[in-house]
Amino acid sequence: MDVICSACGHRNDPGANFCSSCGERVAGGPDDPTAAIPIIVDSHPEQVDEEHLADRDVFEPQMGLLVVNGGPKAGSRYALDTAVVRAGRHPESEIFLDDVTVSRRHVELTSDNGVYTARDVGSLNGTYLNKERIEEATLVDGDELQIGRFKLQFFHGTGGVG
């Protein structure tokens, strides 16, 4: 029997834990463990995605911005507007990525005077920066951060810059 999502009404395959349309939980409890699923890190263009450059001017200079380019939530944007931003499947994460390929506490993004660092916090499937698995790395404009099935591109804001 199909599993119906209570958030969007989408019919999902029997046994689904998350809606394939909106990503909401459709079965299981909040303490379900993260599934160990092989992550395929696809190649990506070696250039900055021009489509998202126009959005940078609404963010303050030196403020970090993540744009979801691939996977669930494609097109979403997240401002890195505090000293520490946590991304993961935990509902209290500042960047909530609801997919079984994401650990509940997956990665922390920190800033120090406009310099952003991504640090894996013991995720099961790892964190990748430009196709390389990392424990900790500094982000620069155009970098692709992969967290589970989510591919996020990093930028700095340019608001008020010439």
pLDDT at 52: 53
Q: pLDDT tens across 77-120, in order?
A: 898 999 999 999 999 999 999 899 999 999 999 999 889 999 99
Provide the Cα torsion 77, 34, 123, 64; round to 10°: 10
Out of 71-75, 105-109, 148-152, pick the least confident: 71-75
pLDDT at 71: 73
Give ∠ CA 71-79-37 in degrees, rounded to 5: 30
pLDDT at 26: 72
Return d(Cα 142, Cα 56) in angstroms, integer.
12
Q: pLDDT tens across 12-67, in order?
A: 777 777 767 666 777 654 455 554 444 444 434 444 455 555 466 666 777 899 99
Q: Token digits for 33?
A: 């463990």
pLDDT at 25: 73
CB 89 within 8 A of CB 102: yes
Instruction: Give the global pTM.
Output: 0.66
The answer on pLDDT for 73 being more than 60 is yes
